[in-house]
Amino acid sequence: MKVLVTGGAGFIGSHLVDALMERGYDVRVLDDLSAGSLDNIKGWLNHERFEFIEGDMRDPETVKNALDGVDVVFHLAANPEVRIGSQSPELLYETNVLITYNLLNAVRDSSVRYIIFTSSSTVYGEAEVIPTPEDYAPLEPISVYGGVKLAAEAIISGYAHTFGFKALIFRLANIIGERSNHGVIYDFINKLRRNPEELEILGDGTQRKSYLHVSDTVEGMLHIFEAFKKENKRVDFYNLGNDDWITVKEIAEIVSEEMQLKPAFKFTGGVDGGRGWKGDVKFMRLSIEKAKKTGWKPKLSSYEAVRRTVRELLLSH
């Protein structure tokens, strides 16, 4: 099968590319390198089964050309920064909704049979049921980021039912690991390098969320995709996360310990009752029972994933 990975030079995308190449797929990557880096995929650049296209998915022609001969699209291209929503909603719209629309329009006239989309736990908003299952409703995002992810899910579903391809949508918890270049662990490490005496923590530190290591994420995506191919559902949704969760303060403690520092913690107090920023979901843990029924489960807990990620980022930066 020939696979296109949009955003394949990014954090999760590049790990997915590694796994697909190791499994023998023909892989093409489309990435504008705004959030990704060629360094993440440099090991494959001269491989006969690998092709890289630098291009912006806001241009329909670029997307159309990238789909030539492709059977499966893993659509990971997006702006990954939740916090940008309050400053630049139009950028989030363009880099999530518009590019997805361009992709779907191009898929109509292509050989693509499957689209796999990485959505986000933020589509649930502040769920009243925790752990939150895939059939939770109503979906009420509290950030622009959550809103554009939900919009992308909806158009994918509409196009799949109308034009006859199959779509698999993953709602991801907080994904962490080597090559990540944003997020709480990355921020803490950089802050402590600048000032080892004090660590500023956004919010009140009690925010509690589920974290999944990128190795478990990619394993889950590929495992569930195999199961989905045998299903007769046109569109299906799976949460990918962890059974446990961890507070921001505990993450700060792990980062400090791994860096052999004892900084004073300075909590900003945050907004709207201790959130890190406007639109930050304070408590998030997804139900992963549906994913587990396919035979997948995370190898690392949230705590183990955090500790391993801190070590990986300290080694690589």
- What is the identity of the amino acid at 148? V
Q: 45: which DSSP letter?
A: T
Beta-carbon count within 10 A of 19 CB = 16
Residue 143 has which token pair? 């950030």
State whether residue 94 is helix, strand or coil. helix
Q: What are phi and psi of 181, to 5 degrees?
A: -130, 25
HSE of 275, CA atoms in CB hemisphere, 13 A: 15
Cis? peptide before 131, omega within 30° of 0: yes
Asked whether 13 and 180 are in contact (CB, 8 A), the reply is: no
CA dihedral 91, 94, 95, 100 (to 10 degrees): 160
Q: 179: which DSSP letter?
A: T
Alpha-carbon distance 144 to 81, whole Å? Answer: 11
Residues marked as catalytic: 145
- Close Cβ partners of 61 (under 8 Å, ≥ 6 residues apart): none
- Spatial CA neighbour of 239 closest among 153, 159, 135, 158: 135
